Structures are given as C-alpha cells and as structure tokens.
Amino acid sequence: MSAPRSRVLVAGIGNIFLGDDGFGVEVVRRVDASALPSTVDVADYGIRGVHLAYDLLDGRHETLIMVDAVPLDGPPGTLAVLEVDPEQEPAAPPALDGHGMTPQAVLALLRGLGGRIDRVLVVGCRPAVLDERMDLSEPVRAAMDDAVSLVTTLAREEAMKTLRTERRPADA
C-alpha cells in the first residue's frame, strides 16, 4: 500500500547562524500547522537541502512551498511569492553542499535522483544581514507576522487547489 499524499509541503530553508538567512526557519516555526488542512505538512529543513530532496522522492507532495531569504528588489524585509519551474535547469550546475543548498540546487538534485514535483513556490524575504549572528535584523523581524500570514494563506490555497483537482471528474 502506498503512502497517502500530503499534497503540500511547506519547507523552511536557511541557516539560523547567518542572521536573516534564518528567515525561512523562523517562519515555519511560527506557522500554526494545526490551523492548516491535514493535506499540508510544515517542516524546518534549515541547511538540510539534501534531506529535503530525498523527502520529496516519496511522491507524497504535489506542491512545494519553500520559505527562504532571497535577493529581491526593494528594501530589506520585502516579501514576494515566486513561482519556480521545477523542470528548469539552473544557468550553472548547482554546488551540492548538504549544508547550504539553494532552492535551485534542491530541485536539480531531486531531478537527478529521478524525482519530480508538480508545483514549486518560494516565499522569499529580502535579507538585510547575512553575517554570523543568530538573530534576524529589524526589517526582517518586522516582516515576520506578514510572512507567517502569507505562508499560511498560500498553503491553504494550494491545498484547496489539489483537492479540487482530485474531485474533478475524469474527461469522458
């Protein structure tokens, strides 16, 4: 018997020892998973990108929402939702470093292992500080409530989309 599909995985990405790089980890720590549909999994992957790629190999998830610090336009603390083509190859081969893989490197590893994911979204925040320190900068900390709300809403919406798709009758 195959494992039931959870459909949506919210993955916090980042290094908590590098200031704002810990954004994704802090967001998923604050998300109230009990307020989400049972088809949504929320997990802190931190710097374990290889682990994330291997977890996606089981085929339980249709949508991946990665939460990470990303170089966005705008001032530090700016939030954005980016859709990533899970089949697009990166411009340069990503370095496979198990302790600091970018979202692109995770997806490249997943493809290299023979896995796939249908939909990938990144909830990103522009960092202010990526130095060795264990706390978020003021602009990123100020964006935290909005980020948690954005991730929660997005996870609910994605879970509902996959449920509607499952319930759609087959074409005759």
Q: Which residues pair with 7 in a beta bridge?
A: 61
Tens-level pLDDT at each residue, the chain (172 residues): 444 556 999 999 999 999 999 999 999 999 999 999 999 999 999 999 899 999 999 999 999 999 999 999 999 999 999 998 877 765 545 555 544 567 888 898 999 999 999 999 999 999 999 999 999 999 999 999 999 999 999 999 999 886 665 555 554 4
Predicted pLDDT at 90: 57
7-167 maps to which CATH number?
3.40.50.1450
Give the three-state DSSP class for 31.
coil
- In angstroms, the Cα distances linking 133 to 15, 128, 143 are 10, 12, 19
pTM: 0.87
Give the three-state DSSP class for 29.
helix
Q: Residue 96 — φ and ψ, nearest 5°? A: -90, 85
